[in-house]
Structure 1
Amino acid sequence: MQLNDTAAIVSGGASGLGAATALALAEQGAAVYAIDLPGSIEQAPQVPGVAYLAADVTDEEQVRSAVATASEGAPLRTVVNCAGIGPSARILGRKGVHDLALYAKIVQINLVGSFTVLALASEAIAATEPDENGQRGVIVNTASIAAYDGQIGQVAYASSKGGIVGMTLPAARDLAQYGIRVCTIAPGIVNTPMLATVSEEFRAGLAAGVPFPQRLCEPSEYAKLVTMIVDHDYLNGETIRMDGALRMAPR
């Protein structure tokens, strides 16, 4: 599927994986609408072809409004879900049982938020005219290798990302009749702003655990895989691990 002269939505598009993806899609000719929280948008870089829309992925009406704005011009063809959070906590820790509200919040943002964007955007994509091959669009969700190898303290995060992996195939099957593909990327350890606060020694230790290439993944590599999925019309219903063959240890 071609990106030129189409519209794209990237949730969490103001930083990290989302910002890199928004840039990559814009460079290929898409009019990109980056959805994020107002505070994140204030710090986002100005990128030609990228417009920022303030919206909380857990708020249905805000997402509906963002999708409507993104659908006003060129046909909406691409949606990438990058919005998410990753606090850690053990089921039983020094301060007692895992905060149940925190567990629900992580699942609400990472999993329910991704589904909300997917569902409302797919409604808009389904209303567009298909291309000569019957295609209308592609949706790419973001899981994590924690969906498979969740570490100690990642029970909520791993649950949310496991849910994204689990919904990939049925979502692809649900939306096949509309010419919409659905895929998921499960990244390993990515050099995002979340890692900016840790020491170089700690980052080097993380990189040393990756079989090959023995380094952290860059957000641009995630973005490159997104564009490859968009371009590859036969990729559908698949979760792709992008982790340098890393399998996470318990801690």
Structure 2
Amino acid sequence: ATSEESVNAAIAEADSLAPLRISVDTHGGPASGGRLVGRDGSPLDLDGFKKTIEFYLTAVFNVMRLAAAAIARTDPLGEGGRGVIVNTASIAGYEGQIGQLPYAAAKGGVLGMTLVAARDLSPLGIRVVTIAPGTINTPAYGKAADQLEQHWGPQVPFPKRMGRSTEYAQLAQSIIENDYLNGEIIRLDGALRFPPK
């Protein structure tokens, strides 16, 4: 997602099947962390911060700008709409935990881009909506999934479990199908609010 070349290749592949009208960005990557000033008095690593911003904010911008340009080339449909972009932030963008400053900053940036991008793209008939998930149990966690479920599940007000990737997909589909959703951020978190730790 950080490479213009690879994103354009994916867009070209999608365009070869049908005109691109939908972009759903759910990529991830490494995230650095730690307190702003460590117990030994050292400041948080700048390179780690920059890499986290690159993967979780700059890459979202890159996918969004290139997808928007491709969607803008399609013919308008119905009431002039051309398509929709669904980005993924995190509830950490609202209430990041101690040691999560780089990730929280990146996800906060995704939240901040939502309305501006929707306004920028409105003349082109392109909607922009962001999903801010809480704790979603995905196959990416591998063997750690059960441990994470035991930790996070009881902290979710209701239902008392981590979210499922199918629930994210269901929400994304609803956003795609509802032409009046635009410039909005939707939390998908079972009413979870991250505590400081």
TM-score over 0.5 for the pair = yes
How much has 1:68 moved relative to structure 2?
A: 2.3
Q: Does residue 88 of structure 1 match 2:33?
A: yes
Find the counterpart in structure 2 of residue 76 from structure 1.
20
Find the counterpart in structure 2 of residue 116 from structure 1.
62
Which range is displaced more, 217-226 or 65-74? Answer: 65-74
Equivalent position SS for 1:124? helix
Matches within 5 A, 1:212-231: 212-231=158-177
Q: Structure 2 length as normaliser, TM-score?
A: 0.93
Against the structure 1 CA distance between its residues 67 and 245, is the aligned structure 2 distance closer, same or farther, given a 3 Å change threshold? same
- Rounded to whole Å, the distance in 2 between the matches of 1:120 and 1:194 is 26
User: Tell me, which stretches of 5 or more residues in structure 1 are unaligned?
Assistant: 1-56
Find the counterpart in structure 2 of residue 248 from structure 1.
194
Q: Percent identity?
A: 50
Find the counterpart in structure 1 of residue 7 from structure 2.
63
Name the amino acid aligned to 1:92: V
- Rounded to whole Å, the distance in 2 between the matches of 1:147 and 1:103 is 15
Name the amino acid aligned to 2:119: R
Matches within 5 A, 1:20-31: none
Find the counterpart in structure 1 of residue 180 from structure 2.
234
Flag the structure with higher helix content. 2
Against the structure 1 CA distance between its residues 88 and 233, is the aligned structure 2 distance closer, same or farther, given a 3 Å change threshold? same
- Rounded to whole Å, the distance in 2 between the matches of 1:136 and 1:243 is 30
Name the amino acid aligned to 1:65: A
How much has 1:197 moved relative to structure 2?
A: 4.2
Matches within 5 A, 1:200-219: 200=146, 202-219=148-165
How much has 1:205 moved relative to structure 2?
A: 2.7
Equivalent pairs, count: 195
How much has 1:187 moved relative to structure 2?
A: 0.3
- Rounded to whole Å, the distance in 2 between the matches of 1:234 and 1:149 is 28
Equivalent position SS for 1:236? coil
Against the structure 1 CA distance between its residues 134 and 206, is the aligned structure 2 distance closer, same or farther, given a 3 Å change threshold? same
Name the amino acid aligned to 1:104: K
How much has 1:133 moved relative to structure 2?
A: 2.2
Q: Given that residues 149 and 161 in structure 2 are in contact (C-alpha distance below 8 angstroms), is that contact kept between their aligned partners in structure 1?
A: no
Q: Does residue 172 of structure 1 match 2:118?
A: yes
Against the structure 1 CA distance between its residues 202 and 164, is the aligned structure 2 distance closer, same or farther, given a 3 Å change threshold? closer
Flag the structure with higher strand content. 1
- Rounded to whole Å, the distance in 1 between the matches of 2:195 and 2:142 is 22
How much has 1:241 moved relative to structure 2?
A: 0.4
Find the counterpart in structure 2 of residue 16 from structure 1.
none
How much has 1:194 moved relative to structure 2?
A: 4.7
